[in-house]
A and B are shown apart, each in its own frame.
Chain A
Amino acid sequence: MMGLLVFKEKLKQLYGKYNRYMIPAVKFLLGASSFFLISSNVGFMARLKNPLVPVVMGLVAAVVPCGVTAFFAGCFLIAHVSQVSLEAALIIAVFMLVVMMLYYGFRPGDGYLLLLTPMMFFLRVPYVIPLFVGLSGSLVSIVPVSCGVCIYYIMMYLKQNAGVLAGSTMSEMAERFIVIVQSLFGNQLMWVMAAAFAAGVLVVFLIRNLSVDYSWSIAIIAGVITQLVVIFIGDFYFNLPVAIGPMILGILVSVVLALVYQFFVFAVDYTRTEYLQYQDDDYYYYVKAVPKITVSQPDVKVHRISSRKSSRHEKSN
């Protein structure tokens, strides 16, 4: 434990020293991997499939806000999809515009969730997102998280049905449009996952704000159980194609990641909790003070004491 705390202090120092470079580096990684995932999954336009495109867009993402990167990624996705189906591209464009105007009009500053949520789906640990958002974000972040879930399932639909959409014999545009709308918005798995994530964020957020010991750990466990319960209820009612094994593995990894996050952000010692009570003219105060776990980084200095020198000094004396 002590070793981990020292490691945490070292990381904090490192971040303090190099945060000027670290933040753009993280934004570059997020941007480049988002564009890479779009290209590798729904890369229908040959010109945009160039491997340099994610690198260049990552460099752009390093200097612009995450919301702008999400907008560029959306345009990139629409450009790819338009090669296969103009109708699908139109639906995605409307979806994007509506989210941008109705939610991002308030400038909430959580545009990165639109990129991060689908990315975690591709990394098989999507259940970590509601835990992180509930622990450190606000309730309104349910909107970008749910939109991120929709974006992932839209991408999956396009990936699996690209051949059908491109070589479709349906001559009528309206007919094609109806089929795509029904497939995209009639995807019960997408809605169940969005509901599970929204419920997860809500439960984690509510529990971590309670004044009980180990509230963050309880919130993580409760958040995971909530997600599982909602997915199982959805599975029971709609008979969803959910693979239990990978889901359990993903949930376990998500819990571990959330506990690591808790260690770095909220390390407190509940055994040394102080309960204080005092008053002023207007109020009585019942205060619970929980000390943070902090250690100072060991400052090791090695002094070399030469035996020859000391013996000479002794002789001279």
Chain B
Amino acid sequence: MLNEEKIRIMTGIAMFEKKAGRDILPASRYFKSDYVGGRMIRSFIFYTFSSMLCLALWVLYQMEDIMSTMDVTALLASAKHVALFYAAGLLVYLAVTYWIYSRRYERASKGMKIYQAKLRRLEKKYEAPSVQGENEEERRV
């Protein structure tokens, strides 16, 4: 026979998994430092790759000037500027990444507690009939 209470809890768990599971489950596998650190490494790679692409476009744009002058001191000065911009941008981007993923981890930890509470409720519902059955057997003996 259908147990409506169980169905209600299971539906709630399934909906929770569908809505929040995408963020909660990956975060629950790691400590906060590992989770945020991993995301920051990924951000570093993405940022560096994006910067390289933009640099390639800039070099193509400046190609004529670079080829015509071939001034080493001017090139070194430009390289310094590029490195400065890259470092400043990287710092800002990593700070944003840290802020976003720290908040997501904290939200995920709260969500995980709710998720576990729901699972415990469901577990109790499964345990309840078996405990009742054991008690009845003891009485018969």
Contact = CB atoms under 8 A, between A and B. Distances in A.
A178 B64 contact: yes
Given A91-B57, A97-B53, A98-B50, A105 B42 contact: yes
A177 B53 contact: no
A248 to B, nearest CB: 38
Interface string B43-68: 10011011001101100110110000
Interface residues of A, number: 14
Nearest to B96: A106
B74 interface: no
B103 to A, nearest CB: 11
Contacts of A105: 42-43, 46
A94 interface: yes
Contacts of B93: 102
Interface in B14-64: 42-43, 46-47, 49-50, 53-54, 56-57, 60-61, 63-64
Contacts of A174: 60, 63-64
A248 B141 CA distance: 88
A181 interface: yes
A101 interface: yes
B100 A94 contact: no
Contacts of A97: 50, 53
Nearest to A99: B50
Interface in A150-184: 174-175, 177-178, 181
- Give the dominant DSSP class at A's interface: helix
Contacts of A94: 53-54, 56-57
Contact of A181 (B49, B53, B61): B61
Contacts of A181: 57, 61
A1 to B, nearest CB: 34
Interface string A97-116: 11001100110000000000
A115 to B, nearest CB: 22
Contacts of A91: 57
Nearest to A178: B61
Nearest to A98: B50
B64 A102 contact: no
Contact of B53 (A98, A106, A175): A98
A101 B54 CA distance: 13
Contacts of A177: 60-61, 63
Contacts of B54: 94, 98
A98 B100 CA distance: 19
Contacts of B56: 94
B91 to A, nearest CB: 14
Interface in B71-119: 93, 97, 100
Given A101-B50, A102-B47, 15 more contacts: A90-B57, A94-B53, A94-B54, A94-B56, A98-B50, A98-B53, A98-B54, A101-B46, A106-B97, A106-B100, A174-B63, A174-B64, A175-B64, A177-B60, A177-B61
Interface of A: 90-91, 94, 97-98, 101-102, 105-106, 174-175, 177-178, 181
